[in-house]
């Protein structure tokens, strides 16, 4: 099967794409490559089975990109709260309009299965413990509101198609682990990095807030299942992706990181309470898709630590910090606009 991964060069995508290729699928990627050339190794290894379009979900030509595609996994977009808050109109254009465009064009192109990547952050300030897919959503950020809107849009497209367009929404827990597009702005990864580099771990927002976590390889496994399982198991359904055991309070996560890295100091930062507080249940994906996670938070801490120690990941690379990279790209764009003559700054046409 050929699977299109939109946003396939990102943190999750650059792990998912080789995972799908190894499983025997052909893969098409569309991505702006805002975080660098993260698929070079996969391209080298899998050659023509991996088709790459450096293009934008808001403007690509569906006649080329959707060729032979049977399933789409949408990972594209601005991927955290502070980056989404930088410029609301850009977030709306990419995360909402772009997400809806991709789903609409996939359906028109005759794609059978559509997997939308949502987030457990749609639960926002969760009422109580053990939130399920049926619990009320209470998004507290533009990022999460956009997830709710596109989730609803894609699921409605599926319902209206009367079985022709099978839609699945995956609400991911906060992801951790190592990827070719490393992210040091996700809680497990950033705490491990700070403990390793500064011997300090900060606990913000009080520390009592619950958060579910999931390893990036387990996310890739869940996406593979959602894209290929029989329709009776997943079409029209929403799944939380993670595992009950990987729900932790932020202060407890900090204790675990401190315990893994000797002489690390815990620092409590007096910030406003973190509104994102959710403890989530994962029965639906376990029972519906027989999905079980394979990596614990402690595995992730050890993996990130080993990658830092070996130099496999660089904690100083700006591209590992989503907000910093988007601020940099925005400033670069504004600078180029103000200086360029006929598209050039130092050179000439």
Ligand X SMILES: NC(=O)c1ccc[n+]([C@@H]2O[C@H](COP(=O)([O-])OP(=O)(O)OC[C@H]3O[C@@H](n4cnc5c(N)ncnc54)[C@H](O)[C@@H]3O)[C@@H](O)[C@H]2O)c1
CB of 181 to ligand X, least distance (A): 5
Decide: is 31 part of the binding site for ligand X (CB under 6 A).
yes
Q: CA-to-CA distance for 70 and 165, rounded, in angstroms?
A: 10
The size of the interface with ligand X (CB under 6 A), counted in residues, is: 30
Among residues 264 and 321, whose Cβ is nearest to ligand X? 321
In angstroms, the CA 228 to CA 20 distance is 11
Radius of gyration of the chain (CA): 20
**The two structure tokens encoding residue 30:** 């569309």
Judged by beta carbon, residue 173 or residue 254, the one nearer ligand X is 173
> Apex CA 27: angle with CA 39 and CA 79, to 5°?
60
Cα 175 off chain centre by: 7
Is residue 240 part of the contact set for ligand X (CB under 6 A)? Answer: no
Contact between 106 and ligand X by CB under 6 A: the answer reads no
3-state SS class at 166 = strand
The nearest distance, CB 123 to ligand X, in angstroms, is 12
Q: Minimum CB separation from ligand X for residue 285, in Å?
A: 14
Query: Does residue 182 interact with ligand X by CB under 6 A?
Result: no
Q: Which one of 39, 94, 106, 169 is in contact with ligand X (CB under 6 A)?
A: 94
Direct distance between the N- and C-terminal alpha carbons of the chain, in angstroms, rounded to an integer: 44
Cross-strand pairs, 213:
174
Asked if 52 is part of the footprint of ligand X (rule: CB under 6 A), the reply reads: no
Q: Report the alpha-carbon distance of residue 110 to residue 77 in Å, rounded.
A: 23
Q: Is 33 in the site for ligand X (CB under 6 A)?
A: yes
**Cα atoms in the 13 Å half-sphere on the side-chain side of 80:** 19
Helices and strands per DSSP (H, E), number in the chain:
14, 12
Tell which one of 3, 4, 5, 11 touches ligand X (CB under 6 A).
11
Cβ closer to ligand X: 264 or 280? Answer: 280
For 161, 203, 204, 206, 229, the CA distances from 269, given in Å and listed in that order, are 50, 6, 5, 8, 45
Q: How far is the CB of 168 from ligand X (least distance, A)?
A: 14
Residues 63-82 that bind ligand X (CB under 6 A): 75-77, 79
Residue of closest CB approach to ligand X: 10
Q: Compute the half-sphere exposure of residue 64: CA atoms within 13 Å on the CB side of its CA.
A: 11
Binding status of residue 124 toward ligand X by CB under 6 A: no
Instruction: Select 77 or 264, whichever has its Cβ closest to ligand X.
Output: 77
Q: Which residues bind ligand X (CB under 6 A)?
A: 7, 9-13, 30-35, 56-58, 75-77, 79, 94, 98, 117, 119, 172, 174-175, 181, 183, 186, 322
């Amino acid at each position: 099967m050929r699977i299109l991964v939109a946003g396939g060069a990102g943190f999750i995508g650059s792990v998912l794409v080789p995972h799908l290729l190894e499983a025997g699928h052909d893969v098409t990627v569309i991505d702006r490559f805002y975080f660098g050339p993260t698929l070079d190794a996969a391209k080298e290894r899998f050659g023509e089975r991996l088709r790459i379009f450096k293009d934008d979900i808001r403007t690509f030509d569906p006649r080329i990109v959707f060729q032979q595609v049977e399933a789409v996994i949408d990972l594209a977009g601005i991927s955290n709260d502070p980056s989404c808050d930088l410029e609301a109109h850009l977030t709306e254009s990419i995360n909402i309009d772009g997400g809806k465009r991709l789903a609409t064009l996939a359906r028109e192109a005759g794609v059978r299965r559509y997997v939308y990547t949502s987030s457990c952050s749609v639960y926002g300030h969760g009422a109580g413990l053990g939130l399920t897919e049926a619990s009320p959503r209470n998004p507290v950020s533009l990022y999460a509101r956009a997830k709710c809107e596109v989730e609803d849009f894609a699921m409605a497209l599926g319902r209206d198609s009367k079985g022709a367009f099978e839609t699945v929404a995956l609400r991911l827990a906060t992801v951790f682990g190592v990827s070719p597009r490393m992210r040091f702005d996700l809680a497990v990864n950033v705490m491990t990095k700070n403990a390793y580099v500064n011997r300090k771990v900060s606990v913000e927002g009080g520390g009592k807030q619950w958060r579910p976590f999931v390893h990036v390889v387990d996310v890739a496994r869940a996406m593979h299942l959602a894209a290929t399982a029989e329709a009776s198991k997943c079409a029209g359904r929403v799944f939380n992706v993670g595992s009950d055991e990987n729900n932790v309070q932020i202060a407890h996560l900090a204790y675990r990181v401190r315990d893994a890295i000797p002489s690390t100091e815990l620092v409590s930062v007096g910030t406003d309470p973190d509104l994102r507080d959710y403890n989530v249940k994962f029965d639906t994906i376990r029972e519906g898709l027989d999905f079980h996670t394979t990596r614990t938070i402690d595995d992730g801490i050890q993996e990130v630590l080993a990658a830092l120690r070996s130099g496999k990941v660089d904690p100083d690379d700006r591209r590992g910090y989503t907000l910093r990279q988007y601020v940099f790209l925005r400033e670069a764009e504004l600078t180029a606009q103000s200086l360029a003559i006929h598209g050039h700054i130092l050179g000439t046409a």
